[in-house]
Amino acid sequence: MSARVLVVDDVEVNVKLLEAKLSSEYFDVLSAFNGPAALRLADAERPDIILLDVMMPRMDGFEVCRQLKANPQTADIPVVMVTALSDVTDRLRGLEAGADDFLTKPVNDIALFARVRSLVRLKRMMDEWRLREEICGRFSHDGDEGTSEDQSPARILLIEHNSFAGSRIADTLAPIAETVVRAGNCTEAQSLLDAGTELIIASLSMPDGDSLRLVSQWRATETFRQLPILLIADDSELPRLAKGLDLGANDYLIRPVDRNELLARARTQIRRKRLQDRLRENYRRSLSLALTDELTGLYNRRYVLAHLDELIARANEGGTGVAVLMFDIDHFKQINDTYGHAAGDLVLRELAARTLRCVRSFDLVARLGGEEFLVLMPETNLGIAAAVAERIRLAMANHPFSLKDAASPVPVTISIGVSVAEGEQETAERLLKRADDALYAAKHAGRDRVIALAVDQPEEETIAIAS
């Protein structure tokens, strides 16, 4: 995962050390040596994450963090404070200023990379929801639905086998919890988790199973994919903790757990979930019928072109590639002629559902019209896009469609053209033209295949990625 990281420290050696570590993991690094410079650079460059030293002259890290969070342009940038301070009071002061986490000097590489990747992933997800809400707002004439923060008590699932530790954690969470449901083992946790849960707090070590397997399973389930997970671990479990963050856990605490820090981090995760839920609900509410396809529930041509323009503009300003997958159903007319238009509609709906299961939550799937579909994949290169296209193709080809009037399941295949905006000054028109040319090449080559067309690649030199 590539991202831009702003490193702020008044000691040049510390900056160079972090630059070297981050660059070795292919992050782009910006640097500032004092608070005012950091504020100016953050406002101008909008990095994906800020690593902020606490002890600096003129303006310390706490004040820098407060000003970053007070500025609407930088408020959503994750801030990790890097400090030699180990006092719990200082950590709480940082959390109250808006910091997302602390790293203690000397910085542990495992904790550094895991925390940066986790927070960057969270920021990009929130950015995508805000972008979708903004685009939908252009087509909606509804008034402001209100943005007051929901501070009502939350339902929390606690996974902790030690009953005494569980009781202490539940007591600590009482001010913000409607109820704390404790699971004493992993099996019980699966049965107690429901759609009303707003936060999971899980001990990393459980005697009957692996908490990380639960994290992986929940992140693969649509219902719980965005549910915040806070891990509790011993200091010796840093490698597994880093793995948990890579799998999708949102935050962590190290034992012995400070009660005030637990409360602060739990409150932050609940607040983020409710903000995300509000963005999603506002987005869905503002999405009028003019922007969706009534048959499949996917976005339509009008919306997807507006969204693509925004993604192209972002890529041209220094972002990473935007991939387009364009595909349609092979010999779709034969399905309508043989089984009727109702069967054809069923195929279109099922194809849309299968496609959604093959892509990431922030990718966008649209029906352009008839049997033609489009997938937009931000932050994606040609190789990954082609692999996803092949996964979508196999999801259709390997599983025939069950139709009401058919004696047996009906084989349905698709042809897919892939293109990626990777150069400067790309346009939506050129990107879509390359995808359309690649789709035509896939049809011409015999259908039921993926063809990827790179920038400035002649049509006669298209390459079949899979067939």
Enumerate the active-site residues.
Answer: 371
CB 307 within 8 A of CB 314: no
DSSP string, 401-457: BP-TT-SSPBP--EEEEEEEE-STT--HHHHHHHHHHHHHHHHHTTSSSEEE--TT-
Q: What is the dihedral of CA 217, 220, 223, 225, to 10 degrees?
A: 100
Q: Rounded CA gap, 274 and 78, in Å?
A: 17
Distance from the first to the final alpha carbon of the chain: 29
Q: Rounded CA gap, 98 and 129, in Å?
A: 21
Structure tokens at 247: 């799998």
Structure tokens at 255: 């034992």
Of 363, 351, 296, 355, the C-alpha closest to 324 is 363
The gap from C-alpha 449 to its chain's centroid, in whole angstroms, comes to 29
CB 180 within 8 A of CB 170: yes
Structure tokens at 184: 């004493």
Strand 4-8, strand 28-32: pairing:
parallel
Over the Cα atoms of the chain, what is R_g?
24
CB 252 within 8 A of CB 114: no
CB 305 within 8 A of CB 420: no
Q: Rounded CA gap, 160 and 204, in Å?
A: 9
Of 325, 362, 365, 356, the C-alpha closest to 466 is 325
Of 299, 411, 312, the C-alpha closest to 355 is 299
Spatial strand order in the sheet of 414-421: 364-369, 372-378, 322-329, 414-421, 450-452, 463-466
Handedness of CA 320, 108, 23, 69 (dihedral sign): positive
